[in-house]
Amino acid sequence: MVYEFALEPTLLNRWEQFRYLVEKFDVSQGRLISRFPGEWKKMVYDSLVECKDREKARIEEALRRIDHRLLVTARAYNDGSSWLENAEASHVLKAFRAIIAGDNPRRHAEVIDGKDLDETSPLWAIPDPPRVPRSAANFAAAVGPFIKMGNVLILIDPNVRPHERRYANSLTALLEMARRADGSFPMRIELHMRYNPNVDKAPRWSGLLRSVRDTFLLWCRSERI
């Protein structure tokens, strides 16, 4: 499982703190930084006003290379409230794994101290992945957060049979999860599968291609197929 964390931009206004926190986020570690709000990177830049030139340059360069650690979100944001107030309000509507902030004036249980992270904290620690029930919705939800991140989505399943409804359901659920917050999809989506025409009940190749195309057209823009 990959979890979404809200990270207060001002926590990243010192290089050592930036490096310490950002290195904790990656798909491989089960954590992604919510790009909350959409101007999250700009908010980090704006917080660097007291940095010396060299430190500021290091942070700016690192910020250009962290998109793979960010999760694009369509969460609402009120410019008239603080970042923390917005994060707390957004958490009520759709929960973050945790909100990492510089302070916690309202003593919310979901807010944790970004300057003193406890690796054993239930909110910060990432549990061992649970077994995912074998259903289209559950499988898609398990991988959803990170298949939105890239511009190329490659699905590899040698046993997929898109002409059968149960496989088509799983494929369409995955494609729906690939839809980003702004409604767009990856620039290229590939399906790699094994086809053996000699297997009993194997469909004709043309029929198989039509099944795949129909499934893709259901969820993707036709000009990207």
Kindly state whether residue 53 falls inside one of the protein's structural domains. Answer: yes
**Is the pLDDT assigned to residue 137 strictly greater than 90?**
no
> How far is Cα 127 from Cα 129, in angstroms, rounded to an integer?
6
Q: Is the pLDDT of residue 195 over 90?
A: no
Residue 46: pLDDT above 90?
A: yes
What is the structure's pLDDT at 15?
96
Q: How many helices (H) and strands (E) does the chain have?
A: 7, 7
Global pTM value: 0.69
* Spatial contact of 30 and 1, defined as CB atoms under 8 Å apart: yes
Total number of domains in the chain = 2
Dump pLDDT digits (tens) for 89-118. 999 999 999 999 999 999 999 999 998 888
The contacts of residue 74 (CB under 8 Å, 6+ apart) are 181, 182
**Is the same domain home to 103 and 146?**
no
- Domain ranges, residue 199: 136-224
Q: Which residues of 83-97 are buried (b: 16+ CB within 10 A; e: fewer)?
A: bbebbbebbeeeebb
> How many Cβ atoms sit within 10 Å of the Cβ of residue 153?
19
Cβ atoms 61, 34 nearer than 8 A = no
> Looking at residue 37, which CATH number applies to its domain?
3.40.50.11490
Give the burial class of 100: count Cβ atoms within 10 A of its Cβ; 0-12 exposed, 13-18 middle, 19 or more buried: buried
Look at 104-113, 118-127, 141-150 and tell me which has the smallest mean pLDDT. Answer: 141-150
- Is residue 27 domain-resident? yes
187 and 153 within one domain: yes
Angle between helical axes of 165-177 and 205-219 (0-180°, round to 10): 40
Kindly state whether residues 29 and 102 are assigned to the same domain.
Answer: yes
Strand partners, 99: 6, 111
